[in-house]
Structure 1
């Protein structure tokens, strides 16, 4: 399963813009190479990816990551899909409606084409051995390294907690355990997650050096950067569950129409695709083009000087047509909640067996297998 890892070779905790740009450039180049390797030999990779159960998934999630998971699954790559319920607590005082949110995620996964016979869907809290790996992993990183992690800094700045919890600082180490428990060697991420992944690589390398006795217990996981362009929310800002500016995959056709009719545009009547100068209009054009498998310029040319109302009409039709089969499958799955629990139970059992085996190897390597 393991693939040879080409080190990005950069300090994971350096937030200097030039270093960050260099890290991203190196990751983009390596991602292009990885795509070729995936096409030629998908079975050599094991992917770990997932979501926090904080609300329904939306179009930004779908075109950003979800459809790529189905693509990798269908190519024959093994997928571990984690529902990170413990990580909900990193930036919240309590985990509200957790059971419902977990079931909603499972519904979305099944509706878009995730096949539980080929991909393992599981929850953090149901795999004790995974979480137990965090303790030895924490011993391999310093407090200074965690403090310098730019992603942790950003998450603390936007934290909803009354005070920052210790779990926030261990967040990247917990993510390393998520990846390494199954010996994942490929992680689809956005560029903002590169520091987390580099820390997972560092932990894998340090564990192998300290306890490996000449063998490599853990692979150094590599980043598969998404080439998906950014979709803005209906208010023109980043699409987000918490900002209520997104179209959920579970939204009805009428809800979708209402949300998109209220989307922010601009005062220029002639519709053009110009992301730099007309971000809101361009994002709507991009959304229609993704649903219609066309270029945004083609969609813009069709609308011409018909204005924002015509643009929104096309976008609404494109989105509703695209989501119709996904919504139909979702409705079917929603009628049998016992099936959702069975999918999770079986996924938890598979993930638990893998985690138990990895933890046993870790204990042997650390001479703590009594």
Structure 2
């Protein structure tokens, strides 16, 4: 299996190349700078990998770089600025596509815009397949499924402050006003919501703030909730909202291995039925950047191997899809268990608990 990694010379892109090689597949590094791509190949342990130079302003060359690959993993952010040309090239080449974006409005725009083109090409496009958007969408679906009806669903990123790459800082500097989903429409988020949330697995309750997570763009497409909103820890929100161009450029381009592996991500979901019924779910794992590469490469592999949700094949998997639409949620989360990922969904007494 040949997997093209666009933005392969970046921090997350290099991890994705290494993961493609670790899985025994053939990586194809694609980007705009041949020298940087070759250095990235060596650093990823794939010195013999093929390097292809293609820029965003040359759509034909970009589609040609993807043409003989089985899937495309796009790691080049900010996606708001650079994501769509890669999607158009993947569709033109007839290749499945995933990306590692966490930018809420970008993900919504892709889900709203490219469905017909992807369906016509017979390919699946799955944006936001990273450590927040992927597991967040999957655990939200499983959590909501514990209730007969959902009045409100809150998706929360409860990870503690930690190291971030310059690419993440650049993407967060592009964060726009967050959205809520209410009564069938996406609207600017209201300035209210839960003031704090309990941290799964502990007695700790932390202040949270409204923030534009991918789940608000993705979850309403497969969960019939009246309202969907997203929050993160208030201290993390303050860090992101304080990013200025000078601060962004002062952030290290990469994290060293020790700092990267010391991080831990935690996505949670809380669903209420409006009548006192509640379900809660969470999924957590180490090494946010390393697991993003694992998640994105596995998603690309499943699309290329035609291992979709509920055994769907062929045209049933074409279009622009959320992670929970493209893949069986529990099966995908279980796949991550060897990487020290655990998850749990629980409901009010009498409705049971599932733990992994």
User: Does TM, scored on the shorter chain, surpass 0.5?
Assistant: no
Q: Which has the higher helix share?
A: 1
Q: Which has the larger radius of gyration?
A: 1
TM-score (norm 1): 0.29
Q: Which has the higher strand share?
A: 2
TM-score (norm 2): 0.30
